């Protein structure tokens, strides 16, 4: 069975949606560890409620970025992690981790990439005045939110949206597409060809705008 390691910095609602999707049987996988850079992250409490080991690793306790991500990779490998999930992990991941987990690290970003990478993707969309926004699950490469796109979901953005109202609309879709992407991976249905992710199976799965997921918990 696929073993997941989750990295999260805060609230952890995406982490929770993945836990729920495993517990409901939607995804066949287990989560062996939560690694956080933030000792106050609510994600730690969520881990505790579901018997997932939490580890706090603060970058400032390491000599440099390389040492930090080397240690994270060690912790993941030690636990047999096959797929690394960035669930609101608010840092650009270092090479020491990417090299060991090439095309095996997934991130969720609250915008339709390549628009609005980096922090506050929702605010960037509100400020820009786009009428369609959404979220993206992608594999992580060395760039900032630049890796191959796995799934996107779109939502409308209205002229009177605030960062909060748009974020809430996007978050509902995040909680659907992230578990779905993990499910596809766990079933061996994802492969990467250059910038493109190929999804084995039905063609509709490769163009996903608010798709009819069968995850009963969402
Ligand atoms: C989510 O909206 C996620 O897309 C975003 O942070 C939020 C975390 O929420 N991630 C990024 O902006 C990464 N650059 P959560 O802690 O409740 O899952």
pTM higher than 0.75, yes or no? yes
Q: Answer yes or no: is 213 within a domain.
A: no
Cβ within 8 Å of residue 127, ≥6 positions away: none
38 lines ligand 1 (CB under 6 A): no
Cβ within 8 Å of residue 3, ≥6 positions away: 29, 30, 31, 32, 79, 80, 81, 82, 83
Among the options 109, 138, 159, 175, which is catalytic? 109
* Domain span including residue 162: 2-205
Which protein residue's CA is at the shortest distance from atom 6 of ligand 1?
Answer: 88
Whole-number average pLDDT of the chain = 93
Q: Answer yes or no: is 190 within a domain.
A: yes
Write down the pLDDT at residue 203: 56
Q: Which residues of 43-68 are buried (b: 16+ CB within 10 A; e: fewer)?
A: bbebbeeeebebbebeeeeeeeeeeb
Write down the pLDDT at residue 201: 81
140 lines ligand 1 (CB under 6 A): no
Q: How far apart are CA 208 and CA 67, in angstroms?
A: 38
Pocket test for ligand 1, best of 12, 34, 40, 108 (most atoms within 8 A of CB): 108
Q: Answer yes or no: is 212 within a domain.
A: no
Is residue 206 over pLDDT 70?
Answer: no
Q: Domain holding 39: CATH number?
A: 3.40.50.170
Q: Answer yes or no: is 150 within a domain.
A: yes
Q: Answer yes or no: is 211 within a domain.
A: no
Q: Answer yes or no: is 215 within a domain.
A: no
Strand partners for 29: 2
Residue 109 among the catalytic residues = yes
Distance 108 CA to ligand 1 centre (A): 7
Dihedral class, residue 124 (left if φ above 0, else alpha if ψ from -120 to 50, else beta): alpha
Which residue blocks in the chain are alpha helix, DSSP H?
A: 13-23, 42-49, 65-78, 95-98, 121-128, 163-186
Q: Answer yes or no: is 218 within a domain.
A: no
Token pair belonging to 69: 């991500």
The number of beta carbons lying within 10 Å of the beta carbon of residue 126 is 23
Q: Which atom of ligand 1 is nearest to the CA of 11?
A: 16
Which protein residue's CA is at the shortest distance from atom 9 of ligand 1?
Answer: 88
Phi, psi dihedral angles at 79 (to 5 degrees): -100, 10
pLDDT digit string, tens, across residues 29-75: 999 999 999 999 999 999 999 999 999 999 999 999 999 999 999 99
Q: How many domains is the chain built from?
A: 1
Q: Answer yes or no: is 187 within a domain.
A: yes
């Amino acid at each position: 069975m696929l073993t997941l390691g989750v990295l999260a910095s805060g609230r952890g609602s995406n982490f929770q949606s993945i836990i729920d999707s495993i517990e409901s049987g939607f995804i066949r996988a287990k989560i062996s560890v939560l690694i956080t850079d933030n000792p106050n992250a609510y994600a730690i409490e969520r881990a505790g409620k579901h018997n997932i080991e939490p580890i706090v690793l603060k970058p400032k306790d390491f000599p440099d970025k390389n040492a930090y991500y080397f240690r994270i990779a060690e912790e993941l490998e030690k636990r047999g992690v096959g797929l690394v999930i960035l669930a609101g992990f608010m840092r650009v991941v270092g090479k020491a981790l990417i090299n060991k987990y090439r095309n095996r690290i997934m991130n969720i970003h609250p915008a339709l990439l390549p628009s609005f990478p980096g922090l506050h993707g929702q605010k960037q969309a509100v400020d820009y005045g786009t009428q369609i926004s959404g979220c993206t699950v992608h594999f992580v490469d060395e760039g900032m939110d630049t890796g191959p796109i796995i799934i996107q979901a779109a939502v409308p953005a209205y002229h009177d949206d605030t960062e909060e109202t748009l974020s809430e609309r996007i978050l509902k879709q995040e909680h659907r597409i992230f578990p779905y992407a993990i499910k596809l991976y766990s079933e061996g249905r994802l492969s990467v060809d250059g910038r493109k992710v190929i999804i084995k199976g039905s063609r509709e799965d490769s163009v996903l705008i608010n798709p009819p997921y069968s995850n009963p918990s969402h």
